């Protein structure tokens, strides 16, 4: 897998580049992983409901063809876009999503943080009271509030075309979290969003991106 780090790039330019890469790739094209960050932008998934954007203000809202609802991207957030030929890799979409989440969990573990999955809510979450606690989430979700005591630190949204993936995941490192209050993140009203800095991890964007790439590349290999 070829890893590219284009730096801070406009979301629309990246979106178009992912579509072009996927449309033009051949069965022999090497898989790539793009690591970047974007200027402030809200993106809506295919099923995104306008009502989940509460007050966009001066931040643009861009409709995309990925799955999921609305989310926010901005400086201080690692965007990881794996461009993977799933047929060649030998696993299906459900397994692909699991591997993306597993890479985030392992990245967080590198920094001493325990990441958690929540059933039927793609992404990775941390315990707000003690993000460094190693005990697993147990028992059924709290009725009416599956995210009680949790904060979302990584969001996922993917597209698969001709068995090849694009879009990907976001890992919050050190960013302005206020724009998340202008939306229902990923379609969940009141869902709290956090980053590594606010839970006590002091690292750089470059270090977090490097660790994430190191975890992603072997997990996404055939």
Task: Kindly name the residue from 86, 186, 196, 201 that is annotated as catalytic.
Answer: 186
Backbone phi, then psi, for 51, in 5-degree steps?
-65, -15
186 is known as an active-site residue: yes
The 10 Å Cβ neighbour count of residue 16 is 11
Angle at 44 between CA 41 and CA 48, to 5 degrees: 150
Q: CA end-to-end span of the chain, whole Å?
A: 10
Catalytic residues: 186
């Amino acid at each position: 897998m070829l890893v590219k780090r284009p730096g801070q790039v406009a979301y629309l330019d990246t979106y178009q580049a992912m579509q072009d890469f996927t449309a033009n790739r051949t069965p022999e094209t090497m898989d790539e992983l793009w690591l970047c960050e974007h200027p402030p932008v809200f993106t809506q998934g295919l099923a995104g409901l306008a009502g989940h954007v509460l007050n966009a203000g001066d931040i643009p809202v861009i409709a995309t063809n990925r799955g999921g609802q609305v989310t926010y991207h901005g400086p201080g957030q690692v965007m990881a876009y794996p461009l993977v030929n799933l047929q060649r890799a030998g696993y299906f979409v459900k397994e692909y999503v699991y591997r993306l989440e597993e890479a985030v969990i392992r990245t967080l573990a590198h920094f001493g943080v325990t990441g958690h999955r929540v059933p039927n809510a793609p992404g990775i979450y941390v315990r707000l009271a003690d993000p460094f606690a190693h005990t697993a989430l147990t028992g059924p979700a709290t009725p009416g509030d599956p995210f009680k005591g949790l904060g979302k630190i990584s969001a996922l949204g993917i597209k698969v075309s001709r068995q090849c993936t694009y879009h990907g995941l976001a890992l919050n490192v050190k960013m302005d979290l206020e724009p998340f209050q202008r939306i229902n993140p990923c379609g969940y009203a009141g869902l709290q969003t956090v980053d590594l800095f606010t839970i006590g991890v002091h690292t750089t964007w470059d270090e977090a991106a490097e660790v994430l790439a190191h975890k992603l590349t072997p997990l996404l290999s055939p």
